[in-house]
Amino acid sequence: MPAKPKKDEKPVICRCVCPYCDVEIIVEDSPFCNVCKVSFGRCASCGAVIMEEKAVKCPSCGKPLK
């Protein structure tokens, strides 16, 4: 079978879906949903996007969030 050409692989942490509208959000320096006009926090330690507004620690690495 033919080998699949490798697409530009995004890091896993950059594939995020908005919890409000289920649309994939743009994750750059600051994650932002264009549909809801909502921005999300980000873990300073591992770069994971924090979806829960009230989260006090990173769900990915467990470090406390500021």
Phi, psi of 5 (to 5 degrees): -65, 140
| Minimum CB–partner distance for residue 23 and Zn ion (Å) | 5
**Cβ-based nearer residue to Zn ion, 9 or 51:** 51
Q: Could you tell me how many residues of this chain bind Zn ion (CB under 5 A)?
A: 13
| Site for Zn ion contains 33 (CB under 5 A) | yes
User: DSSP E strands: which ranges in the chain?
Assistant: 32-33, 38-39, 41-42, 49-50
Partner residues linked to 57 by β-bridges: 64
For binding to Zn ion (CB under 5 A), which residues are involved? 18, 20-21, 33, 35-36, 43, 45-46, 48, 58, 60-61
